[in-house]
Amino acid sequence: KETKEENFHRVERAYGSFTRSIQLPGEVNADKVSANYKNGVLEITLPKVKEEAVKKIPVKTA
């Protein structure tokens, strides 16, 4: 088992089926999630939802 903190890197080895749940720190764009499995490596990409820009609206007094 190996873990790095920069982007997030984890190495695990196991035999048979298993389940892994990870709590995400924010909202993800579910329509753009992708997963690739190649050479024994599962790579999952979860793009963050872009926050809408704050818009200031001036209020006029009568």
Question: In a structure prediction context, what are the per-residue pLDDT tens digits for the chain, which is 62 residues long?
Answer: 455 556 777 777 777 887 888 888 788 888 999 999 998 888 889 898 887 778 888 899 98
- Global confidence as pTM: 0.49
Spell out the domain ranges in the chain. Answer: 2-45
Residue spans of beta strands (DSSP E) within the chain = 2-4, 9-11, 34-38, 41-45
Task: Name which of 20, 10, 50 is nearest 32 in CA terms.
Answer: 50
